[in-house]
Structures are given as structure tokens and as C-alpha cells.
């Protein structure tokens, strides 16, 4: 796990060494084991005869700690150079295959495997990779820069492309010009609509993301191409019994966990009282030779039931070295603000606090790798929004999808609810969080807001696969949008804030593909309240019995309690948001009028999202 950066100037304009050094230093927290840059041109570092290319790297050593595995890394013939962030879990098998073709390796690192695979197979090497990664390879023969991001978007890749050049980095804030940059208005509206910035957009104008499963190739003249190299697996094609499916998935889960325990440094795991982290710890305990460190968190708020007893029970069952922490209401604000400051993009998810806290605990213990259950809900159908969790949701799913879509596109097309009926993607987004009412403040009128929603579904969000079951359509949207743009981004940035690598075994490509191949009813039925049925079958006898009956909680925090316990601080910070030019359409005062808390069902969500944005803006943009 590392930080990568690079500059490609067009038209032969040389890169000044201080420019690539500054870009690399802006992500120093992502890797403190070593740092290096290379610059092209005469008198450069041998990376290229072209003076307009430079690469930078911050290293967190996980595999092959030796100095010869540092980056930027050159090929044996000097024709290619790579900067790479991530872990390739099948790199040993690929190394053996490449050696059988006569390839020679100088290191034991997965970085060199990626580089040699690219030299051998070109762009098609990506189809062979199982892992999490973002990388860039300079090809001296072609005078091009080839960039790629993993299939699910576990690792970030931000870039800025204009008429003068191309820059990329692991974090968007590294790419901004402090005296010039403005925010992307659509991204700001999306943030308040959903609590995060989706898809290709960044919160900063002119900064974009390379989407999951894409590569980008760009030349010295600015000509470039972006292509997808991976598609969602075809869903629901395999018909087996629930017992056979559970057995198959358990084998794949164990294989994924075992592969992600590979490390030359201490490894730990997040452990809540839920299914996902519990299943990872249970599997890891069967695979690891030494004791696994586990980390759990609780809150002192009465509004939040504690999962610490279940986590402790699991730790005792599997013999982990367990660490837990109670976060008191008096320390929440400081921890929340530090977490927000660690994010290059704004999010409004209460999981920031425990993720930041536990990553810091692990770092202080010398643990440099943490396994996370992130992705389990998207792969095993775990969210309540997928099913009839209440009477209203049951009625929603009982109406055939075609009728809902027809009403949304016809009779109710002029309403927000109609847009939600017509597009499952908006239904998923609205149900997840954020506030449509708050977001509408950024538009001149309802018609303009509805046009914005049409743009999201027509041009921003991925198109749903044809003839896919409704459950899989919803799971695939979360897998392509909610997961990479909120959950994985949050995990990456808050673990990296403490120079810790976060790994996600439940997003192993083989496991994911097998899960989506099954009949969707094995996971859940939309008209029934039960979720993650297959994982429940897998978990029998492995998890604490309380997990099966507890309300899903994970690492979320009691936001309303935080606001009520720190009311004046939240009020002061949200009122300060009036000075942010991008928020000119909002009226923070309305949140604090008498009765607003009782009359507005989204009150806590709106206060929290505005607070997070205000703190983030003051940290990263205000000067």
C-alpha cells in the first residue's frame, strides 16, 4: 500500500523536479518507509529521453521489504518504469507463469510482477490480476503512460487533464492549485444528495477519477484513450442447492482470506459484532500461524447498543490478540474533525470516527495491515434496502418493477418520487442517506433539480445490466457506485492516514463472481424481510449466536446523539458554512429553528452532512 503520483507535460515541456517532489510529498502519509521521484530528459534519472515525464512514489513496505523493491521501479532493460499502489494476491502464481516463459525477476515483490506482466502481455495483463491496485507504467518505446485501476475500485486513482499536461495522484487534494481551484457544482449537489461524490466526478473542478475496471493510456501529445477492461459478472446463471452454494462460497472465502493474509509485517482485522468481520476473523484463525490482532470499538451513548461483548466473545473463541476502545461523547468532536481532515473528498458517514480510531490503534501497535469486512453487503445481499424491511418497503417491492418504472416515467415523471420509481439507482441512493430536499436548494427550481436527477441516471450512473433480477440490479449499483465512492474511499483514506493498509477479502474477484452467479433468491427475496440468507447459512456454528438476531450496526456511530451532546459546536460550525461560496443556496439557520429537529425526519442527516462539509472545506480549500 503506497501513494503514487506523476506528471506528463505535453509538447516536450520539461518537468521541474520540485513539481513532482511537491506532488509526492502531498501524499507523504500514505507511505513513510521511503520516498523517491524520477524525472526524464538529459541529466534526468534515466526514466526517459523525454523531458516531460516524472513519476513519484511514497512507500509503505508490506511485501518484500528490501530496498531493491522500492519505487519508481524500472524494468531490467530500462524500457518501462512503474509506480504502483496496492497488493496483487495472485502474484506468486503469475510469477511462476512468467518464469516459465523465460522472464527473470530481481525482487520478490508483486510490483515487479505487475511490471513484467505488462511488458509480456500488454493491456491484457489486467485480466489476469486478482487484487487491489492503481498503477502507472511509462513505456519508453511508445512514449506513453499507461494507467489502470482495479476492478472494484479498492484503490484510488485521481487525475487532472488539460491542454498542457496530465497529472495523477492517489488523492485528489494533491492535484489542486490552492490559489485557483474551485469546486465542482454538480459534485457538491451530489454530496448533499448522497453523502459522497459519485463516479467519475471529484469534488474539485477539473479533477476526475479513473473508474473501477478501467485503463487510460496517454501520449506526449495529449492524445489519450480510456477503456473498461472488466465487466460485472453475468448474474443468476448457476442453479445449485443452498447447501452446495454455501459450501462453495465458504471454500472461496477461505481462499480469499488466506491470500490476503500474505504479508511481511503484522496483520490485524476490524471486528464488530456483525457477519462480515466475524466471518473474516473465523476464516483467518484457520489460516494464520500466529495470533491475529483484532480491533473493536464502542460508544458511551445510550442511543447506541454496544457490539463489544459479541466481538470479545468472537476474539476469545478464535484466540485473537484483542484490542477494544470506548469512544466517549467528549472526545467525538476532536476525532471526527481529524478524520474529516484526513479525507481528500468530503463524505458524511459516521463510520469515519471508529475507522479512524481503530486504524490509529493498529498503527500504534505496529500493525500495518487490517482486514475489513467492507463489501460483504454488496456481495451477499446484506442491506435492508434490498428487501421488505418494513411495510412501506414491502409494498414498494410488491408492485412489479415494470409498473413502478411506467408510473415513474409517465404519471409521476414530474416528481422526485417518480424519478425514484423510474430508476432503481436513485432509489438506492435516496434510501442510503443524504437529503433530496437539501440538495434541491442548489437549483433554481424543481424542474432544474429533476433535470439534474435525469443527468445522473442518464450520463453519470452505470446502466443496469439487461434482464437482471431486481436484487442483483440493486446490488450491482451499490457495487459500482456506493461501495467504491464512499465505503472504499473512506477505508483507504482513513487507514492510510495512519500509514496502514486496509484489505477487503469479501471483494475477492473469484468470490464476487461466484456469488453473483447464484440464483438471487439464495441471498434474499425483495418481498421478504430477510437479508444475506446464504451467508447466514455459511455462518452457522462459526459466529456468536447474538449476531444472527442483532440489528445491523457495524461501525456506524450515533450521529443524533453526537449532535445533541455537542449542539452549540455543531450549530457554530454549520452556520459558518454560509461563507462557503459553493453553498450559497443553503440556509443553515433553518436547521436550528424551533421545532426543526422534530418536524424534519432528515434533520440529523442534514446537520451532519453540512458539518462534515464545512470542516472539510476549512481544512482543504479555505485560505
Mean pLDDT, residues 384-398? 93
Q: Is the pLDDT of residue 137 over 90?
A: yes
Distance of alpha carbon 211 from alpha carbon 586, whole angstroms: 30
CA distance 270 to 367: 12
Confidence of residue 289 (pLDDT cuts 50, 70, 90): low
Residue 623's pLDDT is 61
Looking at residue 194, what is its pLDDT? Answer: 93
3-class DSSP state for residue 87?
Answer: strand
Out of 2, 147, 190, 612, pick the active-site residue.
Answer: 2
Res 555: pLDDT: 66
The pLDDT score that the predictor gives to residue 295 is: 96
346-370 average pLDDT score: 94
Average pLDDT over residues 226-235: 90
The predicted pLDDT at position 234 comes to 81
92-109 per-position pLDDT tens digit:
999 999 999 999 999 888
Q: Is 81 helix (H, G, I), strand (E, B) or coil?
A: strand
- Number of neighbouring beta carbons within 10 Å of residue 223: 10
Domains and CATH numbers, the chain: 2-157+210-228 (3.60.20.10), 233-623 (3.40.50.620)
Residue 282 pLDDT exceeds 70: yes
pLDDT-derived band at 62 (thresholds 50, 70, 90) equals low
pLDDT at 553: 62
**DSSP SS3 for 74:** strand
Cell reading at 334: 476532536
Sign of CA dihedral 498, 499, 500, 501: positive
User: Which parts of 318-411 are beta strand (E)?
Assistant: 321-327, 369-371
Average pLDDT score over the chain: 91
Task: Give the mean model confidence (pLDDT) for residues 25-33.
Answer: 83
* Residue 123 CB coordination number (10 Å): 13
Query: Which three cell numbers mark 623?
Result: 485560505
Q: What pLDDT is recorded for position 305?
A: 58
Is pLDDT at 222 greater than 80 in this prediction? yes
Instruction: Compute the average pLDDT of residues 368-389.
Output: 95
pLDDT band at 365 (very low <50, low <70, confident <90, very high): very high
What was the pLDDT predicted at 375? 96
Interval 539-595: pLDDT, tens: 999 999 998 887 766 667 789 989 998 999 999 999 999 999 999 878 899 999 988
Q: Indicate if the pLDDT at residue 67 is higher than 60.
A: no
Segment 44-67 shows an average pLDDT of 78
Express each pLDDT in 175-193 by its tens digit: 987 656 689 999 999 999 9
b/e code 440-450 from CB counts within 10 Å (16+ = b): bbbbeeeeebb
Active site residue 147: no
More confident site: 601 or 522? 522
The mean per-residue pLDDT over the stretch 436-442 comes to 90
Whether the pLDDT of residue 38 is over 90: the answer is: yes
Please measure the distance between the N-terminal and C-terminal CA atoms of the chain and give it in whole angstroms.
Answer: 31
pLDDT for residue 342 is more than 70:
yes
Per mean pLDDT, which range of 225-229, 350-354, 430-434, 519-523 is the poorest?
430-434
Gyration radius of the chain's alpha carbons: 24
Q: CA 399, CA 66: separation in Å to the nearest integer?
A: 60
Closest C-alpha among 121, 109, 118 to residue 137: 118
Q: Is pLDDT above 60 for 61? A: no
- pLDDT over threshold 60, residue 115: yes
Q: Which helix (H) or strand (E) holds 211?
A: none
Amino acid at each position: 500500500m503506497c501513494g503514487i503520483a506523476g506528471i506528463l507535460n505535453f509538447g516536450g515541456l520539461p518537468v521541474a523536479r520540485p513539481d513532482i517532489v511537491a506532488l509526492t510529498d502531498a501524499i507523504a502519509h500514505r507511505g513513510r518507509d521511503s520516498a523517491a521521484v524520477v524525472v526524464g530528459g538529459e541529466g534526468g534519472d534515466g526514466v526517459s529521453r523525454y523531458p516531460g515525464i516524472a513519476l513519484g512514489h511514497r512507500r509503505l513496505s508490506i511485501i518484500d521489504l528490501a530496498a531493491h523493491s522500492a519505487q519508481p521501479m524500472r524494468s531490467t532493460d530500462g524500457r518501462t518504469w512503474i509506480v504502483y499502489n496496492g497488493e496483487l494476491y495472485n502474484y506468486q502464481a503469475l510469477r511462476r507463469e512468467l518464469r516459465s516463459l523465460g522472464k527473470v525477476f530481481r525482487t520478490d515483490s508483486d510490483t515487479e510482477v505487475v511490471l513484467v506482466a505488462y511488458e509480456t502481455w500488454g493491456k491484457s495483463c489486467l485480466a489476469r490480476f486478482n487484487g487491489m491496485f492503481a498503477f502507472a507504467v511509462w513505456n519508453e518505446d511508445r512514449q506513453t503512460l499507461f494507467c489502470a485501476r482495479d476492478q472494484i475500485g479498492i484503490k484510488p486513482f485521481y487525475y487532472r487533464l488539460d491542454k498542457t499536461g496530465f497529472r495523477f495522484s492517489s488523492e485528489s487534494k494533491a492535484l489542486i492549485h490552492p490559489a485557483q481551484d474551485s469546486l465542482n457544482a454538480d459534485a457538491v449537489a451530489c454530496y448533499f444528495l448522497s453523502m459522497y461524490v459519485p463516479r467519475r466526478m471529484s469534488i474539485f473542478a477539473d479533477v476526475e477519477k479513473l473508474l473501477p475496471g478501467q485503463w487510460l493510456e496517454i501520449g506526449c501529445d495529449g492524445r489519450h484513450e480510456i477503456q473498461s477492461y472488466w465487466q460485472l459478472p453475468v448474474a443468476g446463471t448457476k442453479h445449485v442447492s443452498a447447501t452446495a452454494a454455501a459450501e462453495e462460497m465458504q471454500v472461496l472465502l477461505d481462499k480469499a482470506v488466506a491470500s490476503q493474509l500474505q504479508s511481511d509485517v503484522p496483520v490485524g482485522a476490524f471486528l464488530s459484532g456483525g457477519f462480515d468481520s466475524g466471518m473474516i476473523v473465523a476464516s483467518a484463525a484457520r489460516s494464520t500461524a500466529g495470533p491475529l490482532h483484532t480491533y473493536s470499538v464502542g460508544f458511551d451513548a445510550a442511543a447506541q447498543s454496544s457490539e463489544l461483548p459479541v466481538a470479545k466473545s468472537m476474539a476469545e473463541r478464535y484466540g485473537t490478540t484483542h484490542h477494544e476502545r470506548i469512544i466517549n461523547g467528549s472526545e467525538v468532536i476532536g476525532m471526527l474533525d481529524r478524520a474529516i481532515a484526513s479525507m481528500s473528498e468530503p463524505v458524511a458517514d459516521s463510520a469515519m470516527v471508529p475507522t479512524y480510531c481503530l486504524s490509529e490503534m493498529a498503527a500504534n501497535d505496529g500493525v500495518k495491515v487490517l482486514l475489513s469486512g467492507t463489501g460483504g453487503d454488496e456481495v451477499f445481499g446484506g442491506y435492508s434496502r434490498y428487501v421488505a424491511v418494513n411495510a412501506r418497503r414491502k409494498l414498494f417491492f410488491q408492485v412489479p418493477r415494470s409498473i413502478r418504472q411506467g408510473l415513474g416515467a409517465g404519471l409521476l415523471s414530474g416528481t422526485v418520487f417518480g424519478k425514484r420509481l423510474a430508476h432503481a439507482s436513485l432509489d438506492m441512493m435516496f434510501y442510503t442517506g443524504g437529503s433530496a430536499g437539501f440538495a434541491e436548494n442548489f437549483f433554481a427550481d424543481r424542474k432544474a433539480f429533476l433535470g439534474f436527477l435525469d443527468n445522473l441516471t442518464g450520463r453519470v450512473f452505470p446502466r443496469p445490466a439487461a434482464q437482471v433480477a431486481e436484487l442483483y440490479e440493486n446490488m450491482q449499483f451499490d457495487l459500482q457506485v456506493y461501495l467504491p465512492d464512499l465505503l472504499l474511499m473512506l477505508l483507504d483514506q482513513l487507514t492510510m492516514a495512519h500509514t496502514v493498509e486496509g484489505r477487503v477479502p469479501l471483494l475477492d474477484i473469484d468470490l464476487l463472481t461466484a456469488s453473483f452467479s447464484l440464483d438471487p433468491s439464495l441471498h434474499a427475496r425483495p418481498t421478504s424481510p430477510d437479508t444475506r440468507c446464504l451467508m447466514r447459512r455459511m455462518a452457522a456454528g462459526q459466529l456468536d449466536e447474538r449476531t444472527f438476531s442483532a440489528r445491523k450496526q457495524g461501525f456506524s456511530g450515533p450521529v443524533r446523539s453526537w449532535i445533541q451532546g455537542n449542539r452549540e459546536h455543531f450549530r457554530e460550525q454549520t452556520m459558518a458554512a454560509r461563507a462557503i461560496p459553493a453553498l450559497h443556496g443553503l440556509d443553515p439557520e433553518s436547521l436550528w429553528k424551533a421545532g426543526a429537529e422534530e418536524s424534519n425526519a432528515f434533520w440529523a442527516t442534514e446537520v451532519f452532512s453540512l458539518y462534515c462539509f464545512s470542516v472539510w472545506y476549512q481544512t482543504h480549500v479555505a485560505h
